[in-house]
Chains A and B, each alone.
Chain A
Amino acid sequence: MEFATSSSPHISGSQSVSRVMAEVLLALVPGIVALIWFFGWGVLINIVIAAIAALTAEAAVLKLRGRPVLRTLGDLSALVTAVLLGLALPPTLPWWLTVLGVVFAIVIAKQLYGGLGYNPFNPAMAGYVLLLVSFPLDMTRWLPPAEVAQHTLDFADSLRLILTGSMPSGMTWDAMTGATPLDQMRTGLDMNRMIHEIRESPLWGSVGAVGWEWVAGLYLAGGLYLVWRKIISWHIPAGMLGGLFVIALLFNMIDAHTHPSPLFHLFSGATMLGAFFIATDPVSAATTNRGKLIYGALIGILVFVIRTYGGYPDAVAFAVLLMNMAAPTIDYYTQPRAFGHRKDGNG
């Protein structure tokens, strides 16, 4: 009897790229729900617009490059990029900016480098930074969380605002939107106010800011789920959160009036999202275990430095992109000692 042959190993685990990506999407759900809860339907509308744009852009490029379209879309990596970018955008952002960011992420940052697996930069963060640098005003307008907002936008309002730019009658940008807590913190500090004064505003919760701390907590939960499912290893998040915590603690101990607590840093802005979902993007991160710890820690430190001294309110995107450039070098210098290469030769 004749048989077809193939090369060993003949059995493979159940893991596949699309399953990895699907788990990542699943782990994001609690954080997204909280984000919608606190900041309205705009969040969801952004994500949907981003997803449509990402899939369309990827399909178009694949077609041009003569690659299989459906199979590649099926790896879900474009969807992950879209969701990560979508939820990082302000919930009032005009639709065409979202589309611009996503198309840049998919076409320039990902496909021009050869597609999944070849991109040196995290596509979602590349798109985010492009928007932030080019449209700083739109990108820094955030809604206050629903609990403390005087006006809230319902679904129709949000949709109209995003698609046509028109406000509900009698409302202005200034009345409706404000800065993010991180932004407030830095402008407050810039005006030489003390942290306890800044925190008197109703925006502030127990560790971070109202709403934000919940979102961060749920990202943390989703991230731990990914670690537990072995989708990501613990090294990068631990490195990043640890690095940020330690350096923030040091400064906080030196002067607690002008340096917010380390927990504030951990639970504000995109720290948790970045630690578990962005810095861990395997394609652009370091890959050895020691390398991942170093890579994560350096991102954490960079986040602190940029938040404290830089010109932008949040720093995760910049920190990740900067470290993306260092990843290959870190890998090179952190190769593990291969079996049988032990110096002393035995146990």
Chain B
Amino acid sequence: MSELQRPIHEFSGGLDLPGHKAQSTGRPIATAPLGQHFVVPLQQHIGEPTEPLVAVGDRVLTGQVIARAQDYISAPVHAPCSGTVAAIGDHAIPHPSGLQAACIVIDSDGADTWTELPEPWPDFMDRDPAELRERIRWAGIVGLGGAGFPTSVKVNPGPELPIHTLILNAAECEPYITCDDMLMREQADRILAGLAVIRHVVGASECLIGIEANKPDAIAAMRAAVVSSGCPDTHVMVVPAKYPSGGEKQLIQLLTGLEVPSQGLPAQIGVLCQNVATAAAVADAVLAGKPMLERVVTVSGQGVAEPGNFRVRLGTRMADVVALAGGYTDRVHRLILGGPMMGFALPSDELPITKTANCLLAASAAEIPDPPPALPCIRYGRCAEVCPALLLPQQLYWHARARDLDKTQDFNLFDCIECGCCAHVCPSHIPLVQYYRYAKTAIWSQERDKARADIARRRHEFRQERLARLEAERKARLRKKKEALDAQPKGAADPKKAAIEAAMKRVAAKKAAAAQQQPEN
């Protein structure tokens, strides 16, 4: 192992945040008992929704695909238990705007009878990457670090973007969250096996495992696993505990010194990032033939009695997970899904655990106080010092507030990763990130409108064109007819026409004669 020779680079900005990690690492990961009702959202990933394959009343088995991916960027959903489909319809899901969305509700029969699973592939090294990608896709695996982008798509950047470095994102830089930390301590081998599969799929020549320095146990476990697995060119690299070291672009910079181009993909610089839990899920899919049915969820904060990590089937009610952690204390004030920096506040705990739910933070008012009233920006500039994207947050804020959307783009709004560092240090307590989200959404909807208008315009133009064409054709036909008429010899003029002409001449002559006589009257 040559960790010592590999320099750790730096990213600019960032914050030293109190980690609050020890609260939830006191006990090993506990496996939650099987619940009675499961609410499985049809969409738990970024991309296209899935299409249900079951109907109300159907019997399903654990691991059975109950909704299939309709599109390339999508991920199927599996039954987390055996039982009966009780309902298919809208149900509240964990979403920043408190949305309802289509879910399949399953009543468990308590037996947890598994469906027939595909065969395990311990020989994955001899298999074609396309075959492995198909397996990962079948397993419904998405990025479990939070974003939820379908993994089968991510590991297929295409032949024009060769990957040389595979990075395992084990930084887990958000305070309170420890699910990756605990998974590494307990199942380092499984994670490394998944990493080996992904590495084979993308053909990376080396693997870098980036872990924040505040997880010594996980670092030791991963180092030992790397040695015992004999994976070549795999390095555990310890990065300083500085938020947001686990941001994809930041971690890539820390480990390789490379900068992901603005609004580009890591694959453009030959790098691919995968999360710890994602790697473990890939190992299950390929080496055990198991789809993604469960995940580890951290439950922490002063608002729960016994914080810890729990292995939970997807679709389990959050309130049940909190109950496993000893239930709420009377100090509970906010419920956050994710970490305190980038997570979002949930209006209720009657929501299902989804693939991307890494942490339930039941915080006390001391941990997450109500936001103080915002004061005017004093252009104090602390925000710019901590921005890891090297933006000028205050200028973004001024322009977003003034709804000057073009200016926000001049100031690179879309390079903002919404890490919240700027708002965290702002002495005026301005909810800066909220303004950026507003501006981004406004720009997107503007572009959608524009796209829609473009389509309408094109449709209109097409119609105009068609009308013009029809008109031209009609004229052409007329012209042809006329030409055909003109082409007839003059002498053979229509006798009828000649008669009319003669008659008109007579009338004209009479009129002229009458006119000449008039003055004499």
Q: How far is the CA of A13 from the CA of B411 in the complex (A)?
A: 25
- Chain B residues within an 8 Å CB radius of A15: 382, 425-427
* Distance to closest chain B CB from A45 (angstroms): 29
Q: Known contacts A7-B431, A11-B368: does B390 contact A338 (CB below 8 Å)?
A: yes
- The answer to whether A8 and B341 touch (CB under 8 A), given A283-B379, A341-B412, is yes
Cβ–Cβ < 8 Å partners of A345 in chain B: 259, 261, 269
Number of interface residues of B (CB under 8 A): 74
Q: A8-B420, A347-B257 are in contact. Are A3 and B382 (CB under 8 A)?
A: no
- Check A287–B392 contact: CB distance below 8 A: yes
With a cutoff of 8 Å between Cβ atoms, the chain A residues found around residue B425 in the complex are 12-13, 15
Interface-facing stretch out of A50-58, A113-121, A138-146: A113-121
Given contacts A337-B390, A339-B249, is CB(A9)–CB(B433) below 8 Å? yes
Q: Give the CA-CA distance A283 to B333 in the complex, in Å.
A: 36
Instruction: Decide if A2 touches B261 in the complex (CB within 8 Å).
Output: no
- In the complex with contacts A15-B427, A347-B9, A117-B261 CB distance below 8 A: no
Q: Is the CB of A338 within 8 A of B423?
A: no
Q: A335 contacts which of B334, B363, B381, B411 (Cβ < 8 Å)?
A: B411
Interface centre among A17, A114, A339 (most CB of B within 10 A): A339
- Within B421-443, the residues touching A (CB, 8 Å) are 421, 423-429, 431, 433-434, 437
CA distance A231 to B345 in the complex (A): 31
* Contact-residue size bin, chain A (C-beta under 8 Å from the other chain): 35 or more
Question: Which of B231-277 touch A at CB < 8 Å?
Answer: 249, 256-264, 269
Residues of A within 8 A of B348 (CB): 1-3
Task: For the complex, give the distance between the alpha carbons of A71 and B428 in Å.
Answer: 13
| CB under 8 Å from chain A, chain B span 338-377 | 340-349, 363, 367-368, 370-373, 375-377
Bound Cα distance from A342 to B340, whole angstroms: 31
Residue of B nearest to A18 (CB): B427
Main secondary structure of the interface of B (DSSP, over half): loop
Q: Does A70 contact B (CB under 8 A)?
A: no
Contacts of A116 in B (CB 8 A): 375-376, 378
Chain B residues near A117 (CB-CB < 8 A) = 375-379, 428
Q: For B437, list chain A residues within 8 Å (CB).
A: 7
A61 to B259, CA, bound (A): 50
| Interchain CB contact (< 8 A) of B376 among A118, A335, A339, A342 | A118
CA distance in complex: A295, B38 (Å): 62
A282→B341 CA distance, assembly (Å): 26
Instruction: Report B-chain residues with C-beta under 8 Å of the C-beta of A13.
Output: 15, 424-425
Whether, in the assembled complex, B336 has its beta carbon less than 8 Å from a beta carbon of chain A, the answer is: yes
Is A3 a contact of B346 with CB atoms below 8 Å?
yes
- Is A183 interfacial (CB-CB < 8 Å)? no
Task: Write 13 A-B pairs (CB below 8 A) sorted by A numbering.
Answer: A5-B98, A5-B347, A9-B421, A10-B336, A10-B343, A20-B380, A20-B427, A282-B378, A287-B379, A287-B394, A339-B390, A340-B263, A347-B259
